[in-house]
Structure 1
Amino acid sequence: MEMIDLPHGTVSYRAAGPEDSASPPVVFVHGFLVDGSLWSGVADLLAAKGVRSYAPQWPLGSHRVPVPGADQSPRGVARQILAFLEALDLTDVTLVGNDTGGALCQYAVDTDASRIGRLVLTNCDAFDTFPPFPFNVIFQLLKEPRRLRFNLQPMRLRAFRHSPLGFGLLARGFDPAQSRAWIEPALTDAAVRTDAARFLQAVDPRELNDVSTRLGAFRGPVRLVWGTADRAFKPALGRRLAAAFGGAEFVEIPGARTFVPLDAPQALADQIAGIAASSKEQA
């Protein structure tokens, strides 16, 4: 893992692919209580295609370096994403988001799209679905650091962690070591719990719904790669989001759930590489 100091704090990230790649750089945005390892399979497949990618650990509860004093609102985390692009001088970026990270990508293009060339969103929050049922109920139980720690205790058990009450609704299967690593920071570090709770406290579905009214102003290509077996972010939500961008491409991934990067890494990598290639041809 590499480290970079940003105005809000230190961010660790994994870079994959050739440094001299001729393809636009890819930057991944994961969701709440997940880290950048969500994208490892996709990043390795892109690297084999000659695409350079970056998978940062955003401060959403699974990060290892706390960010005390940072603006942990969704808009604030979006600014952290933009600061990462600026610090590494990344331009014409393919920004890729999943779950909560998809909402953060929407905030990012609404805030400053100057370094973002195109957008790929997998199953994610949109409009006033932020978060969807049943996670809107679960997140209410995690908004205070002590309650977050208490309510995460059952997640120590793999059976619970991979059940519908844990991550079970989000993918067809999980690596137990990976899912354990996702919850470990919030279980063991009070400062990380505070960062995570501050984010949840600032989530406002009305604000994301307002952002949706301006998504059509983004001029780059947009592709939604949507798992059709998702019980939380259903395809109808994805099609509505595609329309909000002014007719973005909508690609169905049969059998995939929320975590498309885990359920269908090859299909997602192909779509990410494909949108970059097609936009380059059109330029």
Structure 2
Amino acid sequence: MTSASMPSWAGEHADDEIVPRDIRFDISGNAERHWFGGDPLRTAMVDGFSIFLPEGERFFIRSLKHYASKLGDPELIKEINGYAVQEAFHTREHEDYNRTIARLGYDVEEMERPIKYVLGNVSVPLIRLAVTCAIEHMTANFSTMTLRHQEIFADANPAYRRLWMWHALEELEHKAVALDVYKRAAAGMPAWKRYGLRVSAMNGTAFHFSRILLRNVRLYAQADGIRTGFRFWSRFAWLLLVRPGYTRLSLLAFLRYYKPGYDPRKVDDSDLIRKGRAWLANEYAAGDPAKETPAR
């Protein structure tokens, strides 16, 4: 790729820089019912994650923007703005993704209903921020696993694989922003209370995420005419715990959140970020059909 043809996001950037990438992956134009290696269950698990994202990302942006004018820290405000732009692009792409899921015959509206209900009932700004921190940590763990074990998506439809690799990269780039804002917003609280709220928000978030994901995987399978009995859930557990072992590969990283004083900036993901940037730039150089437009 020549420097003249290189998109703005593919150039040199600091490892901790938040780089908005306005890329369109056209999932609607590459729709495939079982895009993940022809496997309905693996597809249902990852599509189930996408179901959470548009509503979740709007929730995240509102949570951080609420505090942007109150912090008085230009550098942190700049990070919030970069975060918000990345998340806005994620929202756009996952709305297209979810419309595609619905067009393929799945009841996305019913799958989104409990997500909207749970997030809609979180009204206290600091609690919204603590929930955002929890979800961002969970998403960063998924992203670390995706970039470290790229072979997991080797047999996926290319358009879907590119979207998830792009999303994983940007989640790692902004992984610390929400917790940075939380530390500033809750600075006047005793340390034990600040820690208690952060951990309680994670406990509640993990519970609701797991409950809703299991429900939506069941709805997804039923739309495919698949019986969700013992054999189905046994294979689901196998995928989570054994091979590829999504939960097994990310559990230790998830548990770090429960350490007092946890700071994601102390976890060095710079190699993974560089690896993800190189992967995405190579895809673009190789003739990626995704449409890239300048980040605004």
Calculate the TM-score normalised by the size of structure 2.
Answer: 0.25
- Larger proportion of strand: 1
- Larger proportion of helix: 2
Answer 1 or 2: higher relative contact order, Cα 8 Å, separation at least 6: 2
